[in-house]
Structure 1
Amino acid sequence: MKRRLLFGERMLLGDGKEPFNAVIPFRLRGTFTLEHIRRALAQIQHKHPWLRALISYDEKNVPWFEVPETPVAIPVRILPRQSENQWQEESRKEWHLPFNYEKLPLIRFVWIKGEEVSDMLFAFHHCLCDGGSAMAFLYEFLQVLDNPSADIGIENPILGIQDVVPSAILKSRRQQMKAKLIGRLAATAIKWIPVNKKAVERQTDYLIHWKLDQKVSKQLIAYCRSNEITVNTFLSAAVLQAFKKVKGAAAFNKVSCPVDIRRFATQIKEDHIFAFGLMIVVSSDHKLGFLDNVRSMQESVERKTAKLNPYMTMMVMESGHDALNNFTKLLKNGKSSNDCMFSNLGRIQIPHQYKEFTLDTIFSPSVIGPLGNTTTLVTSTFRGEMDFSLVGSEGYLPYVEALAIRDEVMKIITLQLEYLAVS
């Protein structure tokens, strides 16, 4: 089984020399054996062909996912658990460790082994899949780790754009011409956009992690519901205000927000291993008060989301493989135009109680790569607690400023919930 990488996957893969890795850490209470872990990993590999895939190149130097006849097991690294925050150090290590994807799968596993508590990490190349897919195979891993006879099914994998874009659209001559026209215009524009000769020096990468307890998390969700806004928009507004407060005139007033393509393209199932995403950009109106601004932003988010067209977007991108190098160069060397990327995975629908162990927590994923500004905030909610992972690099956002932005976001949340309590 094999398929050519899509445009977005090739962009994330790059030349393979610079990692673009994502890490999902989680904490289990219980006792485990390496045999049980390897068996569970083998079972999720058996379900998902692309978790077994290597990458090969054809005569035109185009990369392909290719599943070998004899599967290569997911590599496992084991180390003794010495502290509560050790998973953060290991996450940073995994960011910087390239995948030898011509010989090994694009995924690996880290077991920070304790007597009663273990922290575990899935690290994977971002070209393999997105956070939604990763949460699906994490849930399956936990199922078969607890019960090896559990039926997690077999994935019917996506083999190309034809498995995502409906045939009537993909084969429409009008849609094909439109996609090629937009693609050519974009490719021409990208070619002539001035870029720096060198990319920004990232310097030291860092991870800042924090949580909201169940009480505050519940209050924040209630606040958003009562004001008919989403938690995602509230937090986007808080992040933008925090950047403005900390960076002043140097803030861009722009946050990029990924939108799950599964909301629009029902052909992509929850458990598909797939990396393609959609994106919108949100900004604040600093002339408005916080709540009025969030309501205005919510209207903007809904308008922009309604205009998203995943099928045309994919067709345009697939028509532009010859522009990949120029596009990658623009992302790497072009001037930064947004403050950060903000991704909210929402409530993670994974049970915490199993027969053989307890899933104590899932820490929000982290991801970092070479394509421009690395500043990324990921949040998720598990067992009623909102969890935040802020990733950045000194060359883009100094660590002291990132800490100040975190503190400012927390001040905004506290202040708004105090208003709610008074009202």
Structure 2
Amino acid sequence: MKRKLFFGERMLYGDGKTPFNCVIPFKIRGQISEIFLVQALKKIQKKHPWLTAGIRLDEKKYPWMVTNLTDKFHIPVRIVDRVNDEQWQAESKKEWATAFEASSNPLLRIVWLKSDVVSEILLVVHHCLCDGTSAISILKELVLLLDNPDAEIGKEIPIQSLHDIIPAKVLSSYRSKIKSGFIGKVTTMALWLIPIKKIPFNRKEDFLLSWKLDAETTAAIVQFCKKQGFTVNTLLSTALLTAFKAVRGEKAFNKISLPVDVRNYNKAIKADHIFAFGLMIVLSAYPDKDFLSNVKAIQQDATQKLSKLNPYSLMLMMEACHPALKNFSNLLKYGKSSNDCMFSNLGRLDIPHQYQNFEIETIYSPSVMGPLGNTTTLVVSTYRNQMDFSFMASEGYLPHHETEAIREKVMEILLAQIKIPTPALEHA
């Protein structure tokens, strides 16, 4: 089985040599069997055909996912003796920088920080293979099988072409074809004309800040948002924009990008589909408004922008832009940054914590690091009623001391809204 990479996947895959990796660590208290882990990964591969696929280039250097069903083509596991509670962060940074051998291995691997009582397992996936939703689904299957190798996890019907995810009437629409083709040609021409100095930006050291809120504080934030009539996502977005402005002043762009799960618009794509295409909106704050007025105004902006998203049109347009891929990637890689941060809220993770043989003590929010422009990213998730934050950046884009200051300012803003005067966060 094989298929060409979609435009978004090709962009994330890049040259195949540069890492663009997502890492999802989780902490287990209890006994884990190495045999169960190997069996679990084999069973997960059987469910998801694209986890048995490598990347091959055709004669035109176009990348294809091609399945490999030989016994040697398995998800690799690296076992490391666990030393302390902070070790997973160092291993995450190591995995950011380690490219996948995509032609000879799956685009997913496991790191196991092993001890007799407590372990961290890092699920590492190339971003061209999975978005956050599909990666969390794999994690959910993994912990279930680690506890019970006979558990049923179903069988994915893989996405093999646009026909699987775009309605036939849209694909066959003359208007859609003309519109996407025209936009593709215009985009290609524009990207050819834009002058780009191909001087590599020195982003310096990549780093991660990880922390979580206690259950009481998390609940208070949720209740505050319900009472005020806006979402937690919008509150966090506004706090982030406000913090960037407070810390960076005139260097702040007043702009954050938020990925949107395409599954909210396209029901053909299931939560456990191996899929990496996402939608995006951009939000900005209003300088003349106070904080709460800003949250409500930004909520209106977000609602309006979300209502206008059309995944079918966007995907068709992007598929028409394959000739411009190199120029588009160069624009992202070498062009000047125009936004402060990527912000992603995965919400509440629907994964049990208590199992027969172990307990999941925590799931850390995913971290991601890639080569396409500003690396500054904040990912938030909630597990066991605790909101968890992963804040990634590179010293060349956002210095470590400013990242720390933004983190502290975000927390100060949130705690002020719910009337908690003292810090209620735990550094991971």
User: Does 1:412 find its partner at 2:413?
Assistant: yes
Give, as a single letter, the amino acid of the residue that structure 1 aligns with 2:254. Answer: N
Q: Shift of the alpha carbon at 1:414? A: 1.1
Separation in structure 2 between the aligned mates of residue 406 and residue 179 of structure 1, nearest angstrom:
41
CA distance in 2, matches of 1:67, 1:150: 25
- Three-state SS of the structure 2 residue aligned to 1:181 is helix
Q: Deviations over 1:344-373 (max 9, x none)?
A: 000000111111111111000000100000
Q: Is the 8 A contact 1:210 1:387 kept in 2?
A: yes
What is the CA distance between 1:184 and its match in structure 2? 1.7
Offset at residue 51 of structure 1 (A): 1.0
Instruction: Tell me the equivalent position of 1:21.
Output: 21
Distance, in Å, in 1 between the alignment partners of 2:197 and 2:289 is: 36
Three-state SS of the structure 2 residue aligned to 1:418 is: coil
For 2:162 and 2:147, how far apart are their aligned partners in 1?
Answer: 36
Q: What corresponds to 2:354 in structure 1?
A: 353
Give the corresponding residue for 2:38. Answer: 38
Q: Secondary structure at the match of 2:244?
A: helix
What pairs with 1:209-248 in structure 2 (closer than 5 Å)? 209-248=210-249
What residue is the counterpart of 2:155 in the other structure? 154
Equivalent position SS for 2:103: coil
Report how far residue 190 of structure 1 moved.
Answer: 2.3
Does the CA-based 8 Å contact 1:165-1:311 persist in structure 2?
yes
Structure 2 CA distance, aligned partners of 1:2 and 1:197? 34
Partner of 2:50: 50
CA distance in 1, matches of 2:216, 2:39: 38
The C-alpha deviation readout for 1:298-330, integer Å capped at 9, x for no partner, is 000000011101001000111111110110010
Letter in 2 for 1:16: G
Give the 4+ runs in structure 1 shifted more than 3 A: none
- What's the RMSD between the two structures over aligned residues? 1.1
**Residue 10 of structure 2 aligns to which amino acid in structure 1?**
R
Higher mean alpha-carbon deviation, 345-354 vs 183-192, is at 183-192
Question: Residue 352 of structure 2: SS of its match in structure 1?
Answer: coil
| Partners of 1:30 and 1:117 within 8 A in 2 | yes
Greater CA drift, 337-346 or 43-52: 43-52
| SS of equivalent to 1:32 | coil
Residue number in structure 2 paired with 1:253: 254
Deviation at 1:143, TM superposition (A): 1.1
Superposition deviation, residue 419 in structure 1: 8.6
Listed as ranges, the matches of 1:88-167 within 5 Å are 88-167=89-168
Q: Matches of 2:417 and 2:77 in 1, distance apart?
A: 44
Deviation at 1:115, TM superposition (A): 1.0
Structure 1 length as normaliser, TM-score?
0.98
- What amino acid sits opposite 1:193 in the alignment? I
The residue aligned with 2:425 is none
Q: 5+ residue gaps in structure 2? A: 422-428
Letter in 1 for 2:61: N
Query: Secondary structure of 1:108's partner?
Result: strand
Q: Are the equivalent residues in 1 in contact too, given 2:112–2:119 (CA < 8 A)?
A: yes
Helix, strand or coil at the partner of 2:354: coil
Where does the alignment leave 5 or more consecutive residues of structure 1 unmatched?
none
Alignment match, 1:68: 68
Name the counterpart of 1:332: 333
SS at match of 2:248: helix
Mapped partners of 2:408, 2:197: distance in 1: 33
Give the TM-score taking structure 2 as reference length. Answer: 0.97
Deviations for 1:233-265, whole angstroms, at most 9, x for unmatched residues? 110100001000110001000000000000001
Alpha-carbon offset, residue 191 of structure 1: 2.3
CA contact (8 A) 2:23 2:92 kept: yes
